Amino acid sequence: MIIIDHDYAIQEKDKEEEEEEEEEEEEEEEEEEEEEEEEEEEEEEEEEEEEEEEEEEEEEEEEEEEEEEEEEEEEEEEEEEEEEEEEEEEEEEKTWARSL
């Protein structure tokens, strides 16, 4: 009887140890999965931030280009106006010179 009880006790102890090991393995796996998920989330956030930064840079560049184009157009218009004024002055001088 004592031998059977002793064997049974050893088997029960082995079962408990096995169950504990399985639980520990499961916990480790869960922790690893959580860490992986956190890493993935961090990577996604970083990618999103990078994309946002790129978009902002592109928008800034576009705005700068538009401003430059507007400035160029304004300069061209001013030059054209100056040329027209000079032509008008020349015409007036010619007209005035003829009237003499």
- For the stretch 9-53, pLDDT in tens is 788 888 999 999 999 999 999 999 999 999 999 999 999 999 999
- What integer pLDDT is reported at residue 14 of this predicted model? 87
- What integer pLDDT is reported at residue 3 of this predicted model? 57
Q: Encode pLDDT of 66-98 as tens digits.
A: 999 999 999 999 999 999 999 998 888 888 877
- What integer pLDDT is reported at residue 1 of this predicted model? 46
33: three-class secondary structure by DSSP: helix
* Separation of alpha carbons 72 and 57, rounded Å: 22
- What integer pLDDT is reported at residue 8 of this predicted model? 76
- Report the alpha-carbon angle 66-67-71, nearest 5: 115
pTM: 0.50
Q: Encode pLDDT of 52-66 as tens digits.
A: 999 999 999 999 999
* Separation of alpha carbons 29 and 44, rounded Å: 22
